[in-house]
DNA sequence: AAAAAAT
């Protein structure tokens, strides 16, 4: 057995790791990001607060719902998987059968692994004064460090391996809320660390709860996940799965992904080996439920990423089926977390069906409100779009950033449009690829890889790529065709300007987009962007209403406050009896060295 | 009207 980098870290980490059976001597190697850190900066292990925190999510009372009777005081699933302690890594479920793949890929060559990460130069100052609004009853106080909450040593190690030093604003608020067992509707720009915000509490909760959770009924070939994470696209589910695997590494918490377009057999095998957290797209999950290969009766956590999309017309029936018409415990018996950058009122109203006594959390729109993304709108007739795009691409050809070609993501309206634009770009000497829902899953993943690697630095995409995908180094988002919904615009431009980096978003506007004029103009104004005079004129004439968010710093407001406190929509600090406001500043004091980053997803 | 999501 090779000495993994992870083992070395563990050995180097002070604080007395409980349950580590050190049968062999390990080197005392300290990885770069942990050097120069005083031992005292490590989170203490298992402070007394842990016991009380654990009560917060004690939803084990729904025992009556499942068959099979007796409460199990021991670990479930056989094999003594958890063994009652944090950080039990070697015992149990994976013994002999498979070695858990190190998702950090740093077993042998740590330096190289970290050298490839390009997360220096993060502009923490840009996040200093992010406004935060919470509403709901008894909102738990936010934390300022990961150590303020005991997530468990194994998870803490993974947080360190990810080089997350400070929680992001959404994490500071969302993690204590979900650790306290509360339902949550969270509005925060993708790229602000949402994935970790719901994964950390889930993983931690599964680890701590395992010895209390009822053993699932003995049903061969039926999987009983404790957490379900749903997302609207296959690629996003993959991405969440990859992230969750990192966070869950050597915690004993098993993460499996299931989505369409890929052979189901491997997914079935993965499920049979055991799953605690299932990441899925809705269609494939319904399939698995109908085949009776997955049961939701042990679900303790439900997370919907891009929740407003999941509840819009296209997805709502499937989501209702999964959440309300199968065997999932009802609200109050499970913990539900909804995340998105945008949350229209009407969707919030729908979402209330899935929640119980929830807390609404809004973190100021990072991407569009901090000048990190420069937004431009140009009037381009339909017939001129291609040559105009060509001009843009020519102009930026020379602007490669540190040797790497700047990536350009071009959004179009239709799948056909994506194909034809890709073809046109290619025959005109621009290395482009395309992604849309009519391509095979292989083609989709290939396109994404080829784009990320810079092999084809231009990606033409439909809205399949609009949400959630984290593609580093996207310098330019072009809205070749503007969407009809301003929320889609927000998600699209959010593919650039991530992790504190700057980005450019160019929109081609013409008479077909007049319905968007008003909201686009308002949005840009709020983000301190230069609004062209012609756009202001079109917006002023527009018969379409003002941005339904009512302007301001948040992607949405708690609709529950709307009726009693609607005074023009800008009064976020109006002193409603259920509202709380915090200022998120104070955490990013600049105490970071190169290569150390916060948890911007 | 379009896109996404099961086979």
A482 touches strand B (CB under 7 A): no
A440 touches strand B (CB under 7 A): no
Pair A341, A562: CB distance under 8 Å: no
Report in angstroms the alpha-carbon separations of A601 from A337, A351, A410, A421, A452: 17, 25, 22, 31, 16
A88-97 residue pLDDT tens: 333 334 433 4
pLDDT of residue A401: 52
A460-497 residue pLDDT tens: 999 999 999 999 889 999 999 999 999 999 999 989 88
Residues 255-294 of A with CB under 7 A from strand B: 259-262, 264, 280-287, 290
Å: A283 CA to B7 C1'? 10
pLDDT of residue A338: 97
The rounded percent of chain A whose pLDDT value lies above 70 is: 69
Stated pTM of the model: 0.78
Task: Return the closest nucleotide (C1') to the Cα of A416.
Answer: B2
pLDDT of residue A395: 86
Å: A260 CA to B7 C1'? 9
A431-455 residue pLDDT tens: 999 999 999 999 999 999 999 999 9
Average pLDDT, chain A: 76
Which whole number is the average pLDDT over A559-567?
A: 62
pLDDT at A565 > cutoff 60: no
A340 touches strand B (CB under 7 A): no
- CB-side neighbour CA atoms (13 Å) of A127: 31
Check residue A100 and report its DSSP letter: P
Confidence of residue A580 (pLDDT cuts 50, 70, 90): low
A315-324: Cβ within 8 A, 24+ apart = A315/A232, A315/A282, A316/A350, A318/A282, A318/A283, A318/A286, A319/A230, A319/A282, A321/A286, A322/A228, A322/A230, A322/A282, A322/A285, A322/A286, A322/A289, A322/A296, A323/A354, A324/A353, A324/A354
A314 touches strand B (CB under 7 A): yes
pLDDT at A587 > cutoff 60: no
Residue nearest to nucleotide B5 (CA to C1'): A283
Confidence of residue A387 (pLDDT cuts 50, 70, 90): very high
pLDDT of residue A504: 93
The rounded percent of chain A whose pLDDT value lies above 90 is: 56
pLDDT at A57 > cutoff 80: no
In this structure, of A117-121, A401-405, A437-441, A577-581, the range with the lowest mean pLDDT score is A117-121
pLDDT of residue A572: 32
A236 touches strand B (CB under 7 A): no
Highest mean pLDDT: which range of A14-23, A55-64, A578-587: A578-587
- CB-side neighbour CA atoms (13 Å) of A56: 26
A438 touches strand B (CB under 7 A): yes
Å: A243 CA to B6 C1'? 25
Å: A462 CA to B3 C1'? 7
Q: What is the DSSP string of A477-505?
A: EEESS--SSHHHHHHHHTTSS-TT--EEE
pLDDT of residue A599: 35
CA distance A437 to A244: 25
pLDDT at A24 > cutoff 70: no
A141-180 residue pLDDT tens: 999 999 998 899 999 999 999 999 899 999 999 999 999 9
Å: A484 CA to B2 C1'? 10
A326 touches strand B (CB under 7 A): no
In this structure, of A221-230, A236-245, A567-576, the range with the lowest mean pLDDT score is A567-576
A276-292 residue pLDDT tens: 999 999 999 999 999 99
pLDDT at A106 > cutoff 50: yes
Å: A232 CA to B6 C1'? 14
């Amino acid at each position: 057995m090779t000495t993994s980098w992870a083992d070395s870290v563990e050995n180097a980490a002070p604080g007395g790791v409980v349950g580590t059976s050190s049968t062999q001597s390990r080197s005392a190697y300290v990885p770069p990001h942990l050097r120069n850190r005083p031992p005292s900066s490590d989170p203490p292990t298992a402070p007394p607060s842990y016991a009380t925190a654990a009560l917060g999510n004690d939803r084990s009372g729904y025992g009556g719902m499942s068959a099979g009777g007796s409460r199990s005081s021991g670990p479930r699933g056989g094999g003594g998987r958890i063994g009652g302690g944090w950080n039990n890594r070697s015992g149990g479920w994976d013994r002999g059968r498979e070695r858990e793949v190190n998702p950090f890929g740093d077993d042998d060559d740590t330096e190289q692994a970290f050298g490839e990460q390009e997360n220096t130069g993060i502009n923490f100052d840009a996040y200093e004064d992010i406004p935060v609004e919470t509403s709901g009853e008894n909102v738990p106080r936010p934390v300022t460090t990961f150590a303020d909450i005991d997530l468990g040593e194994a998870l803490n190690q993974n947080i360190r391996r990810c080089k997350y030093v400070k929680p992001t604003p959404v994490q500071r608020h969302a993690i204590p809320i979900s650790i306290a067992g509360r339902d949550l509707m969270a509005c925060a720009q993708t790229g602000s660390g949402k994935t970790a915000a719901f994964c950390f509490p889930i993983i931690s909760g599964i680890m701590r709860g395992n010895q209390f959770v009822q053993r699932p009924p003995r049903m061969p070939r039926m999987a009983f996940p404790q957490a379900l994470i749903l997302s609207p696209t296959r690629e996003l589910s993959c991405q969440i799965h990859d992230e969750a695997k990192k966070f869950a590494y050597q915690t004993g918490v098993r993460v499996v992904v299931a989505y369409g377009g890929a052979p189901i057999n491997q997914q079935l095998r993965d499920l049979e080996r055991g799953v605690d957290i299932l990441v899925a797209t809705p269609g494939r999950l319904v399939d698995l439920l109908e085949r009776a290969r997955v049961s939701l009766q042990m679900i303790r956590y439900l997370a919907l990423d891009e929740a407003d999309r999941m509840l819009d017309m296209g997805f709502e029936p499937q989501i209702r089926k999964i959440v309300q018409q199968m065997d999932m415990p009802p609200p109050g018996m499970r913990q539900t977390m909804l995340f998105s950058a945008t949350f229209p009122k009407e969707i919030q109203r729908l979402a209330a069906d899935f929640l119980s006594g929830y807390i609404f959390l809004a973190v100021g729109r990072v991407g569009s409100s901090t000048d990190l993304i420069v937004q431009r709108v140009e009037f381009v007739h339909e017939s001129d779009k291609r040559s105009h795009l060509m001009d843009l691409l020519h102009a930026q050809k020379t602007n490669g950033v540190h040797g790497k070609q700047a990536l350009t993501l071009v959004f179009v309206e239709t799948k056909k449009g994506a194909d034809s634009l890709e073809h046109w770009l290619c025959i005109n000497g621009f290395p482009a690829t395309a992604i849309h829902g009519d391509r095979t899953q292989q083609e989709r993943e290939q396109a994404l890889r080829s784009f990320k690697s810079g092999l084809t630095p231009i990606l033409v995409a439909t809205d399949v790529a609009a949400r959630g995908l984290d593609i580093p180094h996207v310098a330019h988002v072009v809205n070749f065709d503007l969407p009809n919904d301003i929320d889609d615009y927000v998600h699209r431009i959010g593919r650039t300007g991530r992790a504190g980096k700057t980005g450019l978003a160019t929109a081609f506007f013409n008479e077909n987009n007049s319905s968007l004029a008003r909201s686009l103009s308002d949005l840009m104004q709020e983000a301190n962007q230069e609004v062209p005079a012609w756009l202001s004129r079109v917006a002023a004439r527009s018969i379409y209403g003002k941005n339904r968010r009512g302007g301001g710093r948040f992607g949405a407001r708690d609709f529950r406050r709307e009726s009693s406190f609607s005074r023009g929509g800008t009064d976020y600090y109006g002193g409603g009896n259920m509202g709380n406001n915090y200022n998120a500043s104070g955490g990013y004091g600049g105490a970071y060295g190169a290569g150390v980053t916060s948890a911007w997803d």
